[in-house]
Structure 1
Amino acid sequence: MKAIRIITIIILFFITGTAVLHAEKEPKKQPAPAAPSRSEVKVPNSVLTITKENTYPNSTQDQPYLQPSEWAQKLIETSNVDIENPNLIKILNESTVNSAPTIGLRATIYLGEWPLNYSSTETSPNWEFQKINTNYFDNRGGTANHQIHYVQESQKAVKGGLTAKVPHAEDVQKMMLIKATEKSNLPLAFQTIVGAGTKKDQVYNISPRRMGYLYAYAPAINEKGKVTYGEVYLVMKGTKRSIVVKNVTSQGVGAWIPIQDHVHFGFMATETPR
C-alpha cells in the first residue's frame, strides 16, 4: 500500500512539473497592435481623373519609402528617437560594421544632423489650388442649348512645395509626401503636368441668351505637421552597436502637394461677361 502511494505521488509530481514546464515555455500572447488610423480624403463628383486622357504622361510617383536591412533595422531600434528618413535609412543600409569582438573597442561616430521623422497633424484638400484652363462659349444669340466640354488649351505644370524654409528641405518633403499619401489615399507628387489637348467627354449645357464658362483647376493637398531633427551618432562598444540622438528639436512645417492627374471642374452660365 505504501509503495502504491509513493508511485502515485511520483506520477502526480511528474504531471505537475511537466505542466509547469510547458507553461513556462509557452510564450505569452501579446495584444494585437491597433490598426493605424486612416483619414481617406473624399473626392467630390466635380473632380475627375484624367490619367488616360492626359496628353502628357506623368510618371507614377513612387513613394520614397525604403525598407531597412536586417542590420539597419536592429540599429534603428536602439535609437532614442524614431527614425523614418529614407535617406538616412539608405545610408545605414549601405554601411557595414564588423561585429567581431575587439578588446577595448569604444568609438562614437558623428553621422550629422538629420530630420529624423515627420508627424502629420492635418491633411486637407484644396480642390481649386490652381486654375489651369478656361473653356468659353457665347450663346447669347442662340435659340437652343449649346454643349461644351473640357479641352486643355495649353500645357500647364503645377508645382507644390514647402510653405516655409526648413533645414534639409528635400528630406522633409519626402517624409511629408509619404504621410500625406498614406492619409489621403490619393496619387500625390510635388509636380504634375496637364498636357495641351487633354479632353473629357462630360458635357455642360449653355442655354440661349447666356455665356458659358468651364473652369478647370488642379487640386492639391495641404499637409501640415511637425518635423523632428537631431544629431545622430553611431556608438560602438565591443560587439554592441547603437544609435544615439542628441540635441533633439522640433519644428512646425507645411506643404502644398498637387494631386496627380486629377482636375476639378466649375461651370458657370451667365448673361454678362466674366
Structure 2
Amino acid sequence: MEDRPSWLPKDVDLEKASAARCYDYYLGGAHNFAVDRELAQQVVAKVPQIKALAQDNRAFLRRAVRYCVSQGIRQFLDIGSGIPTVGNVHEIAQEADPEARVVYVDNEPVAVAHSRSILDGNERADVVQGDLADVAGVLASSPVERLLNFDEPIAVMMVALFHFVPDSAQPKRIVQQYSERMAPGSYLGFSHLTQDDFPEAGRNLIDLYANSSNPGTLRSRAEVTGLLSDFELVDPGVVHIPEWRPDSPEDRWEQPERSLGYAALGYKV
C-alpha cells in the first residue's frame, strides 16, 4: 500500500478502489491512488472508450447547467459531484450569474476534501459529505439550508451516479423523494450507463467494479426512462450522452451508442 498523504481523511480505505477516484483518473486528474489506477487501467484495457465517456459525461453536465441557467434557474444541487475538475457546476452557473448558488454532495471523502479547498472563499457554493439515499439528511444539511430554497425552482444534477445504486436500494423511490421536494419549474439532470448496445463492454464494467467500493448496476433505456417518470423530458428526451444537445457537430460521436450511456434533463411541471 502506498504512503498515506497527510491531508487524506482517516476513513479513506486505500486498499479498495473508489469509482470517484477512478473517474478522476479517466479525466486526467491527480486525486487518485495506486489501487484506483490499477482498476482504472484494467477498465481502459477492456473498455477503451472509458476516458472519452467520462469526458462526455462532464460535457453533458456543462450543457445541462447552461440550459437550466438559460431557463432562469439560479440554484443547483449537484449530487455525486465527484472530485472537482474543470467546468464544475458553480463555475458555469456563476459565470452566467455571480449570484447563482450551488451545493455539491458526495460520499467520497477525497472529493469532499478537495471541493472544500476549491470553494474556500466562495460564499455562494458549498459541499456536503452525504449519501444520495439519505434524502432527509442531505436536504437538512446546513449548506443546503443556507444556500438553497426548495420552494423555488432548482436544478438537481445526478450525473453518472445511479449506475452505482442497486435495485435493492429502490432507485425510483430515491428519485421520487427528491422530486417531491422540488418546486414546479425545477429540473433534474441525469445520466446513466447501459449495456443496451454493447453487452460485452457492459459486463466488463460490472465485473471490474464488482470488488470496488462502488459496484455497478447497468440499466436499459426503458429503465432509465422509468426512473424519470415524475418529470417531463426536455427535447430530445433520453438519448445517448453525446446526442443530448451537443454544442457542435464535432461533439456528437460518430457512433453515439459507444458512449455506453444515456442522458436526459427532466422538467417538473
Instruction: From the two aligned structures, give the one with the greater helix fraction.
Output: 2
Greater Rg by CA: 1
TM-score, shorter chain, exceeding 0.5? no
| TM-score of the superposed pair, with normalisation by structure 2 | 0.22
| TM-score of the superposed pair, with normalisation by structure 1 | 0.22
Greater RCO (Cα-Cα under 8 Å, separation 6 or more): 1
